[in-house]
Amino acid sequence: MISQNTIDTVFETARVEEVIGDFVNLKRAGSNFKGLSPFSDERSPSFMVSPAKGIWKDFSTGKGGNSVKFLMEHSQFTYPEAIRYLAKKYNIQIEETEQTDAEKANTDIRESMYLVSEFAAKYFHDTLLNSEEGKAIGLSYFKERGFTNETIKKFNLGYSPETWDALTKEALGKGYKLEFLESTGLTIAREDRPFDRFKGRVMFPIQSMSGRVLGFGGRILTNDKKAAKYLNSPESDIYHKSKVLYGIFQAKQSIAKQNNCYLVEGYTDVIQFNQAGIENVVASSGTALTPDQIRLVNRLTKNITVLFDGDAAGLRASIRGIDLILEEGMNVRVCAFPDGEDPDSFARKNSHDDLVAYLENNSKDFIQFKASILMGEAKNDPIKKADLIRDMVASISKIPDRIQREVYIQECARIMDISEQVLTSTLAQLIQKDIAETNKKQKQEQKPFEVFRNQPPKAGTFSGGDPEDPRTGPPEGYDYPEDPGYAGEQVQKVDILYGFERKIIEILLLYGSVVEDFEDVFLKADEEGNVKEVSEKRKYKVFEKIYLSLQEDEVELSNTLFQDIYNNIIDFYNQNDAFSLDKYLMHLQPEFAQEVTNILMEDERLTIHNWEGQNIFPKHKSETIEQNVSETIFSMRWYLVSGIIAELKNSLLNDPKEDNSEVLSMVIDYSKLLNNFSKKLGRVVVPYH
């Protein structure tokens, strides 16, 4: 397990703008950096990086966090993988700590499998380059395919000797255990003796998005008809072929940068394209495309271009894969190579510029692709043509976005020369059928006697912003209440208490350790025994003032997430002599990270819009900390007291009695308190409720 000292060093060393700059083109915007979101397709930059705070925020998707969180979101790293990536980037030595028995039980097996796989990859690569057999057989084969030394190194290609137990014997001699050689599929166990699964094959290591070796593909070089041409590692705890794409580790940065991913079938297709200068390419490794593989690409781009050769089997497989890609809400294009060519051979025969030009000129929208491929089969047969049209509409029905479906229906109607209305009707039937099947499946999976009630969307959860802007508008499913004063016109309902509580968290994060002069009000008796209010200025740290004020009123934040974050921040202040936002964020619990980032980066919207460039200078909150704190606390008190008054008045209306003097007296006392708040705030206030 990585030591806490190493983790702390990584966080202290890593610069968020440098880490993200490896994946996103950032431009300076005042004290921050901005760029196009790597998580969505946008034209105006809404991705903001704050070096001072050590965090980033993507306003188009709502994601945010520190440099580790970015790697986990963007590159699908686990937390330890992200730490190891940053340690390697900044040349930080990783310290390992002793684990408890329970921790070892959870991690030892998988980690041992990773270590064995990585050892095997190094062994195969070294054998290819340095042994006589490896150079004569394996290296000669790769050279015949046109692979350069740089390409062989980039993909860590290797060779497994023809000897029955060469790898097994070497691994055992280095102290690796037979059980992990077996569980990764590198060794096949027999009672008499174990032997190598991949003997006599050239080797293609299969890596995760973070670069860890998960398994292998091996190609035989002899004409043995009894042996499979390609042999893959079996399924294991670390290798699931339906969740892996060959080349994703080498391609991820290029995919994000180019905003497109080329999908091919085989290992050599990927390698040959890379050598030709096109790096944003991955392979399904000969297996049928799966939703998990598509989602891997979806983390990097919304655009996939499927490349295939001209054989009938390949065409049919591509057609099936297209529907899966559409279901995931992605954009798909297809490109076929000339008869007798595949991506490997075509890339080998053409220059980079010619290859790029061919892909641009021959990539078709999936509607055009289906029409061009399947119309040849339908020819003049009206029944087959009708089946083809249904097949195309079935693909369109998989698209989640309604606008895209409408555009594709129009395109299909144009290409197939058929009424758009007929296609729309057919599409509606297919969608309804899918919904019915989904509901039926959910009903079957429902537990006996389990009751589900339809809950209407909850009003009052939107705290402002442009209702037409998906980035600042209300959440999905927001219920706009009707205002009878506007003849049914829809208006926003603002959750005021949510706003106050969020403001308290923001102040604690930004200014909690700042010392300010706050006005304290207390009762004091004069010489004659008269009691009156006296105020004086006293110095408090901001977090102390907020804590004491809420304690005095016995107030807990109503939003459970805010209350948990509040407790977490107060504990951190009390346990640390000096507060550092970087240090706090470093140890922040994952369940709080998203909301804390949202709060910290809210002001960075100003940088995106460049108000100062338009001679508009917003006042910085740091200039009015005391006023900010006092107004927030008094305003929150004002709101809570208003609620109490509203409840008391309702009780008078709903439960009239002859003697309501006690309730009326309470209303008068609370109303006086509101007047006191009015004086403190320097403005006339009325009850909210």
* Residue 225 CA from chain centroid, whole number: 46
Q: Per residue in 26-81, pLDDT tens? A: 888 877 888 888 887 677 788 888 887 788 888 888 788 888 888 888 776 778 88
Query: Is residue 242 within 8 Å of residue 201, measured between CB atoms?
Result: no
Q: Kindly provide the b/e burial profile for residues 529-553, where b requires at least 16 CB atoms within 10 angstroms of the residue's own CB.
A: eeeeeeeeeeebbbbbbbbebbeee
Clarify whether residues 114 and 212 are in a common domain: yes
376-412: burial string, b at 16+ Cβ within 10 Å, e else: eebeeeeeebeebbeebbebbbbbeeeeebeebbebb
Whether 115 and 217 share a structural domain: yes
In this structure, the strands spanning 64-65 and 55-58 are: antiparallel
Counting the structural domains of the chain, the total is 2
Report pLDDT for 344.
93
Classify residue 603 by its DSSP letter: G
From the number of C-beta atoms within 10 Å of its C-beta (0-12, 13-18, 19+), residue 641 rates as buried
Specify whether 80 is located in the same domain as 121: no
Residue 154 pLDDT = 95
Classify strands 303-308 and 364-365 as parallel, antiparallel or unpaired: unpaired
Same domain, 107 and 56: no
The residue range of the domain holding 9 is: 4-89
Q: Do 80 and 120 reside in the same domain of the chain?
A: no
Q: Are residues 108 and 225 in the same domain?
A: yes
In whole angstroms, give the CA distance from residue 640 to residue 634: 10
pLDDT score, position 317? 57
Please give the pLDDT value at position 557: 85
Helix, strand, coil share (%) of the chain residues, nearest 5: 55, 15, 35
In sequence order, the β-bridge partners of residue 231 are: 218
Residue 134 lies in a domain: yes
Domain endpoint, select from 189, 209, 239: 239
Tell how far CA 148 is from the center of its chain.
36
In the sheet that holds 230-232, the strands lie side by side as 158-160, 201-207, 213-220, 230-232
**Within a domain: residue 587?**
no
Distance (Å, rounded) from C-alpha 429 to C-alpha 426?
A: 5
162 shares a domain with 80: no
**Are 110 and 231 members of one domain?**
yes
Residue 507 in tokens: 């102040």
**Tally of CB atoms within 10 A around 595:** 17
CATH of the domain at 150: 3.90.980.10
CATH code: domain of residue 73: 3.90.580.10
| In a domain? residue 146 | yes
Same-domain check for residues 35 and 126: no
Q: What per-residue confidence (pLDDT) applies to 308?
A: 82
Q: Could you tell me if 107 and 232 lie in one domain?
A: yes
Query: Tokens 């009052």, residue?
Result: 460
Q: Are 157 and 125 contacting, i.e. CB atoms less than 8 angstroms apart?
A: yes
- Whether 110 maps to a domain, the answer reads yes
> Which tokens belong to 137?
């057989």
The reply to whether 611 falls in a domain is no
Residues of the chain with pLDDT under 70: 41, 76, 98-107, 286, 310-319, 374-379, 438-494, 521-534, 553, 590, 603-623, 655-659, 670, 673-689
For residue 139, being part of any structural domain is answered with: yes
Whole-number Å distance between alpha carbons of 55 and 38: 15
Whether 147 is in a domain gets the answer yes
Query: Do the domain assignments include residue 364?
Result: no
pLDDT at 168: 95
Co-location of 67 and 170 in the same domain? no
Among 239, 257, 286, the domain boundary falls at: 239
Of 34, 54, 89, which residue is a domain's last? 89
In this structure, are 155 and 188 located in the same domain? Answer: yes
Q: Which amino acid type is present at position 512?
A: G
- Non-local CB neighbours of 158 within 8 Å, separated by 6+ positions: 121, 123, 124, 125, 126, 127, 128, 134, 138, 202, 203, 205
